[in-house]
Structure 1
Amino acid sequence: MIYDAYQNYANLSHSVRVLASSSERILSLWSAMQFASPLRRMAAYYELVALAGFTHTRPDYGIAEIATDSDETVSVKQSEILSTPFCTLLHFAREGGENDPRVLLVAPMSGHFATLLRGTIRSLLRHHQVYVTDWRNTRDVPLSQGSFGFADFIQHLIDFIKAIGPQSHVVAVCQPAVAALSATAILAQDNDPNQPASLTLMAGPIDTRISPTKVNELATSRPLNWFKEKLIGVVPHSLGGAGRHVYPGFLQLAAFMSMNIDRHSKAFVDLFKSRVEGDFEKANQIRTFYEEYFAIMDLDATFFLETVETVFQKHALPEGKLLIQETLVEPRAIKKTFLMTIEGEKDDICSVGQTLAAHDLCTGLRPYMKAHHLQAEVGHYGVFSGRRWDKQIYPILRDHIYSST
């Protein structure tokens, strides 16, 4: 019922936002004229109305070229390597970078598309070939394709690592850190020749018992049935995934925004003021962020509920009890993959220490094969995007990858 109500509202409000968007463009042109400057306030208002809505379609990556360290602009080629009903493995390669280290960038399946990592990809492309897990919106996946669970996520990573080949490097951002560590462990347990040369876990919930955040506390404050009853919806009949049980993206985004509602409210006020005052660079930065932030995707209910239970309630991996297709996941089996963990000092989603816990699990690695970086003055998103990511974190990650190649 909740999904049907949301979709009906979204369909009705879409025409309003389209009208507001058209009005904003017209008024913006008029406001540029000296005699019509008061219209700038109306244009800014219509911009807010047009922006305040969700889209369920993945935005374009828009990475046709990048600037190298020498400020030379080179083209970037994007291609598909593998495709499943739930994910496409994309390959980004810059001109002249055919021999660069191959990096599998594991994007979160947590309500946003992989395009949220656009800035991460751009940084990595300066010195690496980048493969990205481009997860599909499960509300568009036909029910006939079956469900998608936690084990399926891990199997996807194993298959992708094998497709990329030996001496690859895995970088997992946030939620998939547990899956990436598990996939690497399973490959090690099988003595697979495709074991990655390095594994980097960024702001991921390896052990959420350490300094629990509000997200962690919510996950443990309710029984699993509560999440199933309160947060799971059914995709409406008008969509491609009709009948599929999902954790809707609009509920996920509402939950995240409620944690920092004052910051988001201030951002919209700043967008309005900046547009009216003519600070278009700042206004465009805010608008670009929210255009991406409001592009949302649903999660298969099986994956969501199994993640809540396995990662946040039972702490199966750090407890040594994680079973994937009857195989016990043993991080201590990892002996050939260099490990790096990265955390943000002000992360309120995955607190300091939760990702570092991976070091205690990987007892088979010699000390020189482990590294950790705590970035000062950044929150969750600052670990993988923004100025500090590009100028301070990325160089450390780059050196880690090259030293283990």
Structure 2
Amino acid sequence: MMYSLYQAQQDLLTPMRLFAKGTGAVLRQFDSGRPETFMLRQFTAALELVGSSGITHTRPPFGFTTVMLGNEEVAVEEEAVLSTPFGTLLHFRKDCAVSQPKVLVVAPISGHFATLLRGTVQVLLPDNDVYITDWTNARDVPLSAGRFGLDEFIDHVIRFQEEIGPGGHVLAVCQPAVPVLAAAAVMAEAGNPATPDSMVLMAGPIDTRVKPTQVNRLAQEHEIAWFERNLIETVPWRFQGSGRKVYPGVLQISAFISMNLNRHVTAHQEQYRNLVGGDSELADAHRRFYDEYLAVMDMPAEFYLQTVKSVFQDHDLPLGHMTHHGRPVRPEAITRTRLLTVEGERDDICAVGQTSAALALCANLPAALKHNHVQQGAGHYGVFSGRRWANEVYPIVRRAILGEPFPSRLAS
């Protein structure tokens, strides 16, 4: 019922937002930049904030068309290599003959589209042959496609890794660190030739008992039945996934915003000043961020509930209780895959120590193949996007992919 009410509200507000955008665009043409049009500039700035305030449910474009390889600019084309109802293995194919490491970037299913990792991919592209898990909005997946839980997530990682082939690498950002580690363990135990050569786990909740954050504590405050009763909704009739149970993306984005409400209010106040003051560079940066941030996707209910219970409440992986289709997941089966864990010093979502717990779980992996890096000054998003990711984290990730030795201070 709540989902239907939310959608009705969105439908009612959409014409107002479109009107605000259109009116602002027309009036902006009469702004000469002189003092006499200052009030007009204030009005158009307010209209833009109103027009861009809505949540969307469509994946924004990645937008990669070219990339620099050395001194040469080469074309980039998005290629859907393998598709299922729940996700696509998307390949950023480059128009070059140079052989590069094949890297699978596993995006989280956490309320945002895979394009949230645009900055991650942008840094990886020049040196690597990059693939990404482009997950489908659950409200667009028909009931006939079946369920999608942790087992199915792991299945997709394995299937995508097999499609990439032997000698590939995998990089998991945030939430998928757990199923990616599980997938690598399952593949290693089965002797799968496509078992990745290296695995990078970035700011992921391997063991949330370590320095619990506010996010971790919230998951512990209620029984799983409470989450199912209060947070799970049914997709309305008008969408392809009508009747499917989901955790709506709008609830997730509302939770994220409420955690840092003052920061978002301040950002919009600054945007108003940018628009009035004519600072187009800062205004464009704000637009790019919120166009992505407010594009949300619904999560399959079974995946969301299983993740809350298995990862955040029962701690199945670190306690040795995790299973895949009923069979134990054994991280100790991993003996050849180089493992790098990356954490942010100021991460308030996944605290330092939660991701590096993976190193101890891979007990039979030689110490020379295991490393941890704590990025100083970085919060959660700074681990995989922005300046610190590009200049300080990625060079270490690159070493893991290439199998190069690490400085001794980075060793676990």
Whether TM-score is above 0.5 comes out as yes
Aligned to 1:23: 23
Does residue 247 (structure 1) correspond to residue 247 (structure 2)? The answer is: yes
- How far does the alpha carbon of each residue in 1:56-95 deviate from its partner, in whole angstroms, 9 at most, with x for none? 011111111123454x432112101100000000001323
Given that residues 338 and 403 in structure 2 are in contact (C-alpha distance below 8 angstroms), is that contact kept between their aligned partners in structure 1? Answer: no
Partner SS, residue 363 of structure 1 = coil
Aligned to 1:348: 348
Aligned to 2:106: 106
Unmatched tracts of structure 2, length 5 or more: 406-412
Does residue 47 (structure 1) correspond to residue 48 (structure 2)? The answer is: yes
Aligned to 1:391: 391
CA shift for structure 1 position 36: 2.9
Partner SS, residue 30 of structure 1 = coil
User: What percentage of aligned pairs have identical amino acids?
Assistant: 49
The separation in 2 between residues aligned to 1:11 and 1:158, in whole angstroms, is 39
CA shift for structure 1 position 24: 2.0
The separation in 2 between residues aligned to 1:305 and 1:158, in whole angstroms, is 22
- How far does the alpha carbon of each residue in 1:94-150 deviate from its partner, in whole angstroms, 9 at most, with x for none? 232651000000000000000111111111001001110000000011111112111
Aligned to 2:378: 378
Aligned to 1:171: 171
AA of the residue aligned to 2:63: G
The separation in 1 between residues aligned to 2:25 and 2:203, in whole angstroms, is 39
The separation in 2 between residues aligned to 1:88 and 1:384, in whole angstroms, is 21
TM-score (norm 1): 0.97
Partner SS, residue 10 of structure 1 = helix
Q: Summarize the alignment of residues 31-42 of structure 1 with structure 2, pairs less than 5 Å apart.
A: 31-32=31-32, 34=34, 36-42=37-43
CA shift for structure 1 position 255: 0.5
TM-score (norm 2): 0.96
Given that residues 338 and 404 in structure 1 are in contact (C-alpha distance below 8 angstroms), is that contact kept between their aligned partners in structure 2? Answer: no
AA of the residue aligned to 2:380: H
AA of the residue aligned to 1:56: H
The separation in 1 between residues aligned to 2:345 and 2:297, in whole angstroms, is 28
Aligned to 2:276: 276
The separation in 2 between residues aligned to 1:340 and 1:112, in whole angstroms, is 25
CA shift for structure 1 position 368: 0.7
- How far does the alpha carbon of each residue in 1:219-276 deviate from its partner, in whole angstroms, 9 at most, with x for none? 0110000000110011011111111110000000001111111111111111111111
Aligned to 1:330: 330
Partner SS, residue 38 of structure 1 = helix
Does residue 81 (structure 1) correspond to residue 78 (structure 2)? The answer is: no
CA shift for structure 1 position 33: 5.0
Partner SS, residue 396 of structure 2 = helix
Partner SS, residue 133 of structure 2 = strand
- How far does the alpha carbon of each residue in 1:196-216 deviate from its partner, in whole angstroms, 9 at most, with x for none? 000000000000000111110
Coordinate RMSD, CA, aligned: 1.3
Aligned to 2:199: 199
- How far does the alpha carbon of each residue in 1:297-327 deviate from its partner, in whole angstroms, 9 at most, with x for none? 0001011001101100110000001011121
Q: Summarize the alignment of residues 280-359 of structure 1 with structure 2, pairs less than 5 Å apart.
A: 280-359=280-359
Partner SS, residue 222 of structure 1 = coil
AA of the residue aligned to 1:42: F
Given that residues 158 and 183 in structure 2 are in contact (C-alpha distance below 8 angstroms), is that contact kept between their aligned partners in structure 1? Answer: yes
The separation in 2 between residues aligned to 1:203 and 1:128, in whole angstroms, is 21
How many pairs are equivalent? 404
Given that residues 199 and 337 in structure 1 are in contact (C-alpha distance below 8 angstroms), is that contact kept between their aligned partners in structure 2? Answer: yes
Partner SS, residue 319 of structure 2 = coil
Unmatched tracts of structure 1, length 5 or more: none
The separation in 1 between residues aligned to 2:26 and 2:68, in whole angstroms, is 34
